[in-house]
Structure 1
Amino acid sequence: MTPTTKLVKQQIQEEMEALTPSERQLASILLQDYPMGGLQSITKLANAASVSTPTVIRMARKLGFDGFPALQDALRDEVAAQIKKPIAKRDAWVVDEGAEHPLTRFAQTAWTNMRHTLDRIDTGMFDAVATLLADTARPLYVVGGRITRSNADYLYNHMQIIRPNVTMLGNSANVWPQYLLDMDEASVLVIFDIRRYEAHLAKLAQIASERGVTVVLFTDQWGSPIARSARHTFNSLVEAPSSWDSTLALMLIVEALIAEVQDARWEQSKERIEELEAMFSSTRLFRGQG
């Protein structure tokens, strides 16, 4: 089995300019409530988009499907992939164990994930997010889910060294309203959320967005529901021959952003790093002395 490299919504986005006005209207409805919007009957979908049923069929064919039922089959496959449990995910990657060393097999998958992630990344969006993260006039908040907490920690630890005014949200969702109190139109909230998406993160993103906060989402190829509240969304391929998803492709983007932000703020960052090192030295931390 190989990772899925293109979703229905990506096909829609790629074909958008070639669609007729009525087809673009339909595409907009599909993307607004993706993927569930495309799983309703053809009549309901057509009515929701104020188009005819033949328009739905034509657009499905323009996207490369034999018809609307085939498009719905693809959407159902995406939904099934999103909700796979860890054991089921591992079973789906059963291969010839004697084919190659497990390390090589995993590395090849990870490289494929990174390559396809890079192929479809919006570099303009990358630049815009790097600018946001480098702007110290914009308070930065970071949070992750049960699995992606470590990814959020990694971004926070580096951003906190590079620039001031960075906050990592606490582990308990019960205290998040206290952070939301200080968030406003100037704030940036970075959220990490991959499949088996977490409802409390989606609620956090929704409330933050309603307060004018700029939400930046790091998610998988299917896309967390948080994307509806996010200003910027990075999609990374995560499937791997394991019970657990791989966040290596996601971390590639994170590390590239860290490097870009540090470069943009090098003079100020250099001063902060030097001051931090002086503190470590004066307190003899990490020197093995009691």
Structure 2
Amino acid sequence: MPDRRPPPSLSARLAGARLSPALRRVAELLLVDPRAIAHGTVASVATAAGTSPPTVVRLATALGYPGFGGLRDAAREELGMRLATDAVRARTPLPDDPTEARRAAEHDVIDRTLDGLDPPAVATAVTLLDRDGARCWVLPSAQTVGVALRLVDQLTIIGRRAVLLDGSEMRVMSTMAALAPGDVVLSMDVPRHEHALVRIQRAAVDQGALPIVLTGPPGQGLATEGGVVLPFTTATVGPFDSLVGLTVLTSLLVDALVERRRDLVAARLAALERTWTGAGLYEA
């Protein structure tokens, strides 16, 4: 069967590349000012990076592009993504009725997220999460840590083994030393993958973890072999990406797990409720 996965994004290629100092100078220009490459020539990019034209072409080849034209096209895609970032959206005034605009936007996020799901893919994700003995390693981007923490809490409450991978890259990689083949790595992020998340997720899959990728579009940079991708919508009327679609998606997964083990989950929740109320944790 042919591999129909989209090619890795420019950011993902940069994150995984081992480059010489000369190539790194051009790569840093890509990260800081993709416009210089998106609208440049080999000569202009070499001048901006303080290097030679052959070095620019060598970077394109090192990143897996057939030539400078492929690198320039990738830089244009990267630039297009950055034009919709928080910093750009913050300059756009809110609508006259921000409350209604927010209501409409978040309703649309929910509809587009749920309408865009592939039921067999959701079923595959639930099956991966429901396997006895398998641990779920939840790997969020910086923006999605709050949703990840809630998911780990809920998975733990219903009796699944879940670990939140948060903190420095060194801390996360050290924690992952306990990862076993057949475990699940559930990553969640919005557009523009963080380089550390790409590296950590790749390392987990290389260790034998099965990936569940929850991602806002385009989501091209993460490993998917043996696993599944579930997209969610991040459209917003303000500066920051909406996480409502991601929250709905994680809730959908938890609900499906509960349905599979309803009697056991009900018993666990009843026991926890007795513990919470018996210890006087709630006000009367």
Q: Please, what TM-score do these two structures have when normalized by structure 2?
A: 0.70
Q: Distance in 1 between matches of 2:77 and 2:157?
A: 39
Q: How many Å apart are 1:115 and its aligned residue?
A: 2.2
The answer for the alignment partner of 1:83 in structure 2 is 82
**2:230 matched to 1:231?**
no
The answer for the alignment partner of 1:21 in structure 2 is none
Q: Distance in 2 between matches of 1:229 and 1:260?
A: 23
Q: How many Å apart are 1:206 and its aligned residue?
A: 0.7
CA contact (8 A) 2:6 2:220 kept: no
CA contact (8 A) 2:205 2:223 kept: no
Structure 2 residue matching 1:216: 3-state secondary structure: strand
Q: How do residues 33-112 of structure 1 correspond to structure 2 at under 5 angstroms?
A: 33-34=8-9, 78-84=77-83, 85-91=85-91, 93-94=92-93, 97-98=95-96, 101-112=97-108
Q: Which amino acid aligns with 1:174?
A: M
**2:152 matched to 1:156?**
yes
1:211-252 C-alpha deviation (Å, 9 max, x unpaired) = 110111111122152255682122212121111000111211
Instruction: Give the fraction of aligned pairs with identical amino acids, expressed as a percent.
Output: 16
CA contact (8 A) 1:140 1:165 kept: yes
**2:256 matched to 1:260?**
yes
Structure 2 residue matching 1:31: 3-state secondary structure: coil
Give the RMSD, CA atoms, in angstroms: 3.2
Q: How many Å apart are 1:118 and its aligned residue?
A: 2.5
Q: Name structure 1 gaps, 5 residues minimum.
A: 1-23, 51-67
1:69-122 C-alpha deviation (Å, 9 max, x unpaired) = 9xx98x76652343344230233x546x33xx2111122122223322233221
Q: Which amino acid aligns with 1:33?
A: P
Q: Distance in 2 between matches of 1:171 and 1:192?
A: 15
* 1:87–1:34 Cα change, 3 Å: closer
Q: How do residues 1-290 of structure 1 correspond to structure 2 at under 5 angstroms?
A: 28=4, 31-34=6-9, 78-84=77-83, 85-91=85-91, 93-94=92-93, 97-98=95-96, 101-223=97-219, 225-227=221-223, 231-287=227-283
Q: Distance in 1 between matches of 2:149 and 2:6?
A: 31
Q: Which amino acid aligns with 1:241?
A: V
The answer for the alignment partner of 1:13 in structure 2 is none
Query: Aligned residues, how many?
Result: 232
Q: How many Å apart are 1:208 and its aligned residue?
A: 0.6
Structure 1 residue matching 2:229: 3-state secondary structure: strand
1:151-195 C-alpha deviation (Å, 9 max, x unpaired) = 101111111111142222242322122322111222011111113
* 1:77–1:110 Cα change, 3 Å: farther
Q: Name structure 2 gaps, 5 residues minimum.
A: 14-37, 39-59
* 1:197–1:276 Cα change, 3 Å: same
Q: Please, what TM-score do these two structures have when normalized by structure 1?
A: 0.69
* 1:77–1:112 Cα change, 3 Å: farther
CA contact (8 A) 1:134 1:265 kept: no
Q: Which amino acid aligns with 2:255?
A: A
* 1:178–1:198 Cα change, 3 Å: same
Q: Distance in 1 between matches of 2:252 and 2:196?
A: 28
Q: Distance in 2 between matches of 1:88 and 1:103?
A: 21
Q: Distance in 1 between matches of 2:271 and 2:169?
A: 33
Structure 1 residue matching 2:259: 3-state secondary structure: helix
Q: Which amino acid aligns with 2:119?
A: T
CA contact (8 A) 2:141 2:194 kept: yes
Q: How many Å apart are 1:133 and its aligned residue?
A: 1.6
Q: Distance in 2 between matches of 1:199 and 1:229?
A: 19
Q: Which amino acid aligns with 2:90?
A: R
